[in-house]
Amino acid sequence: MTGINFNPQTFHKSQIKFYLILLPFAIFMAMPIVYIFSTAFKPIYELFAFPPRFLVQQPTLKNFRDLFVFVGYGLPVMKFIVNSLIVTLLVVFSSVLFSSMAGYILSKKNFKGRKLLFEINKLALMFVPIAVTIPRFLVITNIGIIDTMFAHVLPMIAIPVGLFLVKQFIDQIPNELIEAAKVDGAGDFYIYTKIIVPLSMPAIATIAILSFQATWNNTETSTLFVNDEIKQTFAFYMATLTNISNSVAAAGIGAAATLIMFLPNLIIFIIMQSRVMSTMSHSGLK
């Protein structure tokens, strides 16, 4: 039948059935996010109201004011947030740089041991972080960076799943494009910066999100490698708030801190989610 668009670009009454199916799922999945936001702005009497209220009735900023004037370990809370931002930015930059460079080498260069190295990386996907805690501690101790900011950064740089995704994505870049650049006199640095990186931005964005989430929410490095409170992160400080926020007076502080921990993850995923979907759809193709 000509003239009928079975996939209209604008709203059509034939799409109502899809909304009826998808909207309930979307609302159900959004409920935890709404609850986190709502709880952070609840006054103390709403936090302990019975029966519990899902939405805030009389929102207040008192929880956030209390959080930022609260002093933990003799340090302002803002110090821990700044530490987390510095560590997270360093880890994200390093992870993206090393994963994309290694992905380019493993995908487009022929050398002895290339397949073995990639198989080792795939094998690393099987290990949970707790399985490598002791080797990490021995490395951090032997190179002498215990109780430094680098102790937060170094263990988080290597992301096996990031290297896997970016290598699979770079595999889709035609070899003819690389060869044409070489014929024109381009070196590896030019090819990497002008061809590989721009064409691999969806995979790079995915690595950035994975690295950001893993680092921003990480408490392991502060627990195991850093004893100096002035160098610990906000995620670790959040873990110490668990006991404090069990008291009635500090419940609002814990709710506000939870929102601050959650919000950056939400923002970065919303901004880059389209690139993540593109990576997932291409990384398994040959």
The answer to whether 147 touches 228, Cβ cutoff 8 Å, is: yes
CA distance 125 to 101: 19
Task: Decide if 22 is inside a domain.
Answer: no
Could you read off the pLDDT of 210-254 as tens digits, one per residue?
889 889 988 888 888 888 888 888 888 877 765 554 566 677 888
Rg (CA), the chain: 24
Task: Decide if 229 is inside a domain.
Answer: yes
Task: Decide if 221 is inside a domain.
Answer: yes
Task: Decide if 226 is inside a domain.
Answer: yes
CA distance 225 to 125: 23
Number of domains comprising the chain: 1
Residue 89: which domain range? Answer: 77-282
Type of residue found at 136: R
At 86, the pLDDT band (50, 70, 90 cuts) reads very high
Task: Decide if 232 is inside a domain.
Answer: yes
SS3 content of the chain, % helix, strand, coil (to 5): 70, 0, 25
- Tokens standing for residue 33: 């996010």
Task: Decide if 29 is inside a domain.
Answer: no
The per-residue pLDDT for 285 is 45
Could you read off the pLDDT of 110-144 as tens digits, one per residue?
888 888 988 888 888 887 777 888 888 898 889 88
Type of residue found at 4: I
pLDDT value at 185 more than 90: no
CA distance 171 to 285: 9
* Average pLDDT across the chain, whole number: 82
Type of residue found at 131: A
CA torsion 41-72-141-131 (nearest 10°) is -40
Q: For 155-166, what is the mean pLDDT?
A: 87
Q: For 178-204, what is the mean pLDDT?
A: 88
Residue 105: give its domain's CATH number: 1.10.3720.10
User: Residue 176 half-sphere exposure, CB side, CA atoms within 13 Å?
Assistant: 0
Residue 190 burial (CB count, 10 A): 14
Task: Decide if 46 is inside a domain.
Answer: no
Task: Decide if 13 is inside a domain.
Answer: no
